[in-house]
């Protein structure tokens, strides 16, 4: 996949507005997708929050692989100024504790008369609006399974001493890591019209074959699995009757079935990425940068001798 460049006008406006009001905020609540915590972590959030404490909520944890989620939580909770919890909006007891958790993160502010001011942030379609409605105990925020539903900032007062600002889901201008781009597309964070649907389905099929083969066997009642991703889409298409005249599989319809069932959790609890995978990727990037720096320094020294 080439770099995804999807940054609609309302996202640019939202970023500017968030930067303007950040000085009034005590802490940031960043909602992540528990299935892809790193890929759904917006680097703009760290830039915009300017060192303020952050509560990372790994949302939709009921769709994610629980063991992998625990590893991500331990990783985030080891970082300074960060607290991380995993939940889904149906966990009312934990959701109702969020105001208290926020106050614990700002102990000096918790003793003050005014509420703790928090800003809820996250990329599109990570479940911010659903979570907000659960916190408020009533339906105020518009909910949808398409990204970019919330278009402007809104402020709410929550029982328990919390003032909450909701923001539109914003992506960063360029998603440079190809795997992250595919994961975001497969999860629904990027509009289906912004990418080639069948390419995403091929990526998803390869991922499922490599990591969750048993889930495929159970869901599609398969004894043997094909080794090639495109062949898996054909098998799914035939199983579900997605055939064109002449018995040719309608690959687009088969792609929609696989992606929609991954998103809905019908294929079981799936995590698209592991902490170890990202640690290896980060280390490789660090070594490559160091090598480039050394090469540049060697080149400069060589020029100085001539």
Per residue in 57-103, pLDDT (tens digit) is 999 999 999 999 999 999 999 999 999 999 987 888 888 899 899 98
Kindly give the pairing relationship between strand 162-166 and strand 154-158: antiparallel
The pLDDT of residue 148: 45
Please say if the pLDDT value at position 172 is more than 60.
yes
Which comes out higher in pLDDT, residue 125 or 174?
Answer: 125
Span 222-239, mean pLDDT? 96
Helix 178-187 and helix 251-264, axial crossing angle in degrees, nearest 10: 80
pTM, 2 dp: 0.85
Please say if the pLDDT value at position 117 is more than 70.
yes
Q: Cα–Cα distance between 7 and 13 in angstroms, integer?
A: 10
**Residue 230 contacts residue 205 (beta carbons within 8 Å):** yes
Which domains occur in the chain, in start order?
9-166 (3.40.50.300), 196-264 (1.10.1580.10)
Binding-site positions read: 59-62, 125-130, 169
The pLDDT of residue 208: 98
Residue 133: pLDDT band (50, 70, 90) is: confident
The pLDDT of residue 61: 95
Binding-site positions for GTP read: 59-62, 125-130, 169
The pLDDT of residue 270: 97
Compute CA distances 249 → 117, 201, 236, 241, whole Å.
Answer: 53, 14, 9, 8
């Amino acid at each position: 996949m080439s770099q995804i460049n999807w940054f609609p006008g309302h996202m640019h406006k939202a970023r500017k507005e968030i930067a303007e009001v950040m000085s009034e905020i005590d802490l940031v609540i960043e909602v992540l997708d528990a299935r892809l915590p790193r890929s759904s972590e917006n680097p703009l959030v760290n830039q915009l929050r300017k060192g303020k404490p952050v509560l990372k909520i790994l949302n939709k944890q009921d769709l994610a692989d629980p063991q992998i989620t625990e590893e991500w939580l331990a990783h985030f909770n080891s970082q300074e100024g960060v607290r991380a919890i995993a939940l889904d909006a149906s966990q009312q007891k934990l959701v109702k504790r969020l105001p208290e958790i926020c106050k614990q993160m700002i102990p000096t502010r918790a003793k003050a008369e005014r509420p703790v001011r928090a800003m809820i942030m996250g990329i599109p379609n990570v479940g911010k609006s659903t979570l907000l409605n659960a916190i408020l105990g009533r339906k105020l925020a518009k909910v949808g399974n398409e990204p970019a539903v919330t278009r402007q900032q809104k402020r709410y007062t929550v029982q328990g001493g919390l003032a909450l600002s909701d923001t539109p889901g914003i992506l960063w201008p360029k998603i440079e890591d190809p795997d992250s781009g595919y994961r975001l597309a497969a999860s629904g964070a990027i509009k289906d019209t912004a990418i080639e649907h069948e390419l995403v389905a091929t990526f998803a099929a390869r991922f499922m074959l490599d990591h969750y083969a048993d889930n495929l066997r159970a869901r599609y009642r398969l004894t043997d699995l094909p080794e090639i991703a495109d062949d898996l889409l054909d098998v799914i298409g035939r199983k579900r009757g997605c055939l064109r005249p002449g018995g040719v599989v309608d690959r687009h319809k088969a792609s929609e079935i696989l992606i929609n069932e991954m998103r809905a959790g019908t294929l079981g609890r799936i995590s698209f990425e592991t902490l170890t995978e990202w640690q290896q990727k980060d280390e490789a990037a660090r070594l490559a940068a160091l090598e480039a720096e050394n090469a540049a320094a060697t080149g400069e020294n060589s020029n100085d001798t001539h």
